[in-house]
Amino acid sequence: MGYGFAAILRRDLLLAFRNRGEIANPIIFFFIVVTLIPLGLTPEASRLAVIAPGILWVMALLASLLSVEGLFHSDYRDGTLEQLVISPQPLYLMVLAKILAHWLITGLPLTLLAPVLGMMLSLPSAGYLPLVLGLLMGTAVLSLLGAIGAGLTVALRKGGLLLSLIVMPLYMPVLIFGASAVQRSVDGFSVQGPLAVMGALLAFSLLISPFATAGALRVSMHG
Amino acid sequence: MWQWFHRLGSPRWFYQTSGKWLPWLGGITFLLLIIGLVWGLGFAPRDAKQGNSFRIIYIHVPASFLALAGYYVMAIAGAVGLIWKMKLADMVMKSAAPLGAALTFVALVTGAIWGKPTWGTYWVWDARITSMLVLLFLYMGVMALQHSYTSVDAANRASAVLSLVGMVNIPIIYKSVDWWYTLHQPATIKFTEAPTMHPDMFHPLLVMIVGFYCFYALVLILNTRSEILHRERRSSWVKNVVLQNQR
């Protein structure tokens, strides 16, 4: 049973490693947009520090959204997805493997680079740890929820905009708790609450999302 | 025992039966809405603080109730369609989406109009308003997904999956928005509604709420009927219905 999971995970990571340029895209996007903020608003450190927690989280959300669109796309085009759907391995686990691979190549690097961006936006030092911890769990939730939308829109010609339309409302709790964890830490409050909720969101979406995504992929393949 | 349930699966049976209900339902809806509006707008006492501007609740509150209830109607219909492959449920789901979105929009607009005289501004980032806005986005996502599939069957199942995911997420989104709001609570704006309503104000509101529920059922049935005619347009009974109406 775990064979399908391991095979898909290895295949997706290998594919990503062979196309290293694509891994960098969401990260470059993250950097460019963060560069736009001081240009558009103000280079003043004191004012940037106020908005940094929210900006960083909104950007991470957008970067994840952009990358999740391609989660099933090439597999759909070359017929791999069809083989996955009809294969005797449980689709639930194979989808989970794809999501995990996606998180490893987009969410995790984003999380690790977030402190650098925080520094560029002069985030106060108390905010770094909750930012990284929150993003570590939060980007996984974003990948899981985004996969449902990607599964529903993979067969559509203009899926990209539609995907963001249907997935963004579901992203809101992640944004609220992620950004507030950083904000609370900067303001000197305990961050256990929002981080615990983020963990709960992760556990919950880990249960629900592979089922929903597998269902969505079946719809897309037969429709 | 389950006969009625299986009968519901037949769009034709539903079309013919609901045709008999329509005059009754329409009459009751019309009566309740007229009574509620005249009573609420004309005879209910003025509010001590807000004067006459509070009277917009007779539209605002029922619309907000049904905006949320409508999402559950849509999602449950989607689940029934997904599980039992019931054609009628798919049609109900499709009809419920624009109706719910319209009611959410009405709730938002009346809220904004009410906000101007009471809070001094059309829009504030209040927890309830923000949740309503998110609900509107959820409806729009389901509608957009429904329209972007060319195959009817795929459109039904895709939007059913999405509305179920949305239904599971609604409590989470609502709770998180609540939490977000208490964290950022602005001190200047507070709800000026009295915690308990005077019975003279409450009774017309009750009539309006029941009236809106009937109105919702009426419009949902009408929408579903036209959807039935559209989807079954190649069948002989629809042709007969259309021919009879032309005569």
Average pLDDT over residues B162-187: 82
CA distance B131 to chain A (A): 10
Average pLDDT over residues A158-166: 85
Please check whether residue A166 touches B, CB under 8 A: yes
Partner-chain contact A212 B161, CB within 8 Å: yes
User: Tokens 């001590």 appear where?
Assistant: B48
pLDDT value of residue B188: 47
Average pLDDT over residues B105-125: 88
- Considering only the beta carbons, identify the residue of A162, A201, A216 that sits closest to B148: A162
* Residues ≥6 apart with Cβ < 8 Å to B78: B89, B90, B93, B156, B159, B160, B161, B163, B164
Average pLDDT over residues B170-177: 87
pLDDT beyond 80 at A16: yes
Average pLDDT over residues B27-46: 90
Chain A residues with CB-CB distance to B78 below 8 A = none
Q: Which of B174, B185, B66 is nearest to B124 (CA)?
A: B185
Chain centroid, CA B221 distance in Å: 12
pLDDT value of residue A20: 83
pLDDT band at A155 (very low <50, low <70, confident <90, very high): confident
What is the C-alpha separation between A87 and A4, in angstroms, rounded? Answer: 9
pLDDT value of residue A111: 93
- Considering only the beta carbons, identify the residue of A173, A197, A219 that sits closest to B161: A219
In angstroms, what CA-CA distances link B245 with B19, B31, B228, B239?
13, 27, 16, 10
pLDDT band at A222 (very low <50, low <70, confident <90, very high): confident
pLDDT in tens, A115-126: 999 998 889 988
In angstroms, what CA-CA distances link A84 with A89, A91, A133, B229?
8, 7, 33, 38
pLDDT band at A14 (very low <50, low <70, confident <90, very high): very high
- DSSP helix/strand/coil, A162: helix
pLDDT value of residue B215: 95
- DSSP helix/strand/coil, B99: helix
pLDDT in tens, B60-114: 999 999 999 999 999 999 999 988 888 889 999 999 999 999 999 999 999 899 8
Closest-CA residue of B relative to A197 is: B176
Least confident of A135-144, A164-173, B12-21: B12-21
What is the C-alpha separation between A38 and A51, in angstroms, rounded? Answer: 11
pLDDT value of residue B219: 95
What is the C-alpha separation between A118 and A110, in angstroms, rounded? Answer: 12
pLDDT beyond 70 at B191: no
**What mean pLDDT is reported for chain B?**
86
Helix intervals (H) in chain B: 3-8, 11-38, 57-84, 87-119, 127-148, 152-183, 199-231, 236-246
- Say how many domains are in chain A: 1
Please check whether residue A199 touches B, CB under 8 A: no
Least confident of A5-9, A136-140, B9-13: B9-13
* End-to-end alpha carbon distance in chain A: 28
* Residues ≥6 apart with Cβ < 8 Å to B205: B36, B40, B57, B58, B61, B62, B197
Domains of chain B: 24-43+51-246 (1.20.120)
pLDDT value of residue B1: 62
**Diameter of chain B measured on Cα atoms:** 66
pLDDT band at B196 (very low <50, low <70, confident <90, very high): low
Q: Which of A223, A219, A218 is nearest to B151 (CA)?
A: A223
Residue range of the domain that includes A22: 2-222
Chain A residues with CB-CB distance to B172 below 8 A = 173, 201, 204
pLDDT value of residue A214: 94
Average pLDDT over residues A133-142: 95
pLDDT beyond 70 at A46: yes
Partner-chain contact A222 B142, CB within 8 Å: no
Q: What percent of chain A has pLDDT over 90?
A: 53
Average pLDDT over residues B114-121: 84
Find the angle CA(A99)-CA(A103)-CA(A106) to the nearest 5 degrees: 130
pLDDT value of residue B189: 45
Exposed (0-12), middle (13-18) or buried (19+): which is A90, by Cβ within 10 Å? middle
Least confident of A65-74, B18-27, B115-124, B217-226: B115-124
On whether ipTM exceeds 0.90, the answer is no
